[in-house]
Amino acid sequence: MNLRNTNEQVKGIAFGLGAYVLWGILPIYWKLLQHVPSTEILAHRVSWAMVFLFILLIASRKFPSFISEIKTIAGQSRKMLGILLAAIMLNLNWFIYIWSVNHNHIIQTSLGYYINPLVSVLLGMVFLRERLSFWQLVAFFLAAVGVCSLTFQYGTFPWIAFTLAITFAIYGLFKKLINIGSITGLTLETMLTCCIALPYLGYVYNTGNSSFQFVPSATTFLLIGAGAMTAIPLILFAAGTRRLPLFAIGFLQYVSPTMALLLGVVMYHEPFTLGHLLSFIIIWTGLIIFSLSKTSVFMSLEEKITKTRSISVQ
């Protein structure tokens, strides 16, 4: 039994790591399409992701159950509204990410996905009445100090980072509230977005401004491949989360922004000073504390702090 659990955890780490590594190298993929407008990249990403997801549903023989689930959801107006709002948040997040990468703001995108878990917890506290522990409050304070330091160094508010963090956190909140299967939810979100994406691509093609040609070329294959690059990490992520405890996923989620940060500094030579490094170290410290806040060591420390406070008050 223990061996089986160990094997499942090893598989979970492999799936989760695969998802985050693919997300981590996405800047390289989008940079290859830097000559294509971000709106067109997004429209192709959505359209080809829908094609890929439909093929996956048919190949896995889950298409009939998908249709049945859609019929059930269609009669629930609040759930449909939640899916629509989730789709808007997800695509806004995707657009800002693609635009930022192709306008040399990879480091800011990594910052956005570093602080995303903290924004998610804040939304949970406001909308789901979840309570923060002492160590989570410490993590929030450290992250706030690091972000304020970065803001001072940038000279402007890091709007890209915060927009990415907030839109993805709101997307996660909607997903939690509507509570439907991951592939079903993503396919529905993609279908709804395609109602805009496909007419837009048709318009761009008819005006002669399309980067997509029906003659084989590197750009054409990259635009088609954007669908797989969107869906595969999400499928791996879903497989990983089923096999791993939450704290393990919490650690793995920092793989992709770390890879993006390294790409931005080493491969694309974005400015990164000693001051930036110190600010990121403060944020990383907060994130480590946040990820460990539910472990037995930190919880026992919190109990000791609480007892010490109560004794001092008496």
User: What is the per-residue pLDDT across 193-210, written as a single tens digit (0 to 9) for each?
Assistant: 999 999 999 999 999 889
* Residue 174 pLDDT: 84
- Share of residues in the chain with pLDDT > 70 (%): 89
Of 101, 97, 111, the C-alpha closest to 146 is: 111
| pLDDT tens for each residue of 241-262 | 767 765 566 677 888 999 999 9
The DSSP output letter for 47 is: H
Whether the Cβ atoms of residue 248 and residue 5 lie closer than 8 Å to each other: no
Tokens of residue 148, six digits = 């304020």
* Residue 119 pLDDT: 84
* Residue 297 pLDDT: 58
Task: Dump the DSSP string for 151-191.
Answer: HHHHSS--HHHHHHHHHHHHHHHHHHHH---HHHHHHHHHH
Mean pLDDT (the chain, rounded)? 84
Per DSSP, helices labelled H in 62-130 are 63-74, 77-102, 106-127
pTM: 0.85
Whether the Cβ atoms of residue 172 and residue 147 lie closer than 8 Å to each other: no
CA pair distance 232, 228, nearest whole angstrom = 6
CA pair distance 146, 20, nearest whole angstrom = 24
Q: What is the mean predicted confidence (pLDDT) over 286-314?
A: 65
Q: Give the number of other CB atoms < 10 A from CB of residue 93.
A: 22
Query: Is pLDDT at 1 greater than 50 in this prediction?
Result: no
Q: What sign has the CA pseudo-torsion 13, 94, 82, 64?
A: negative
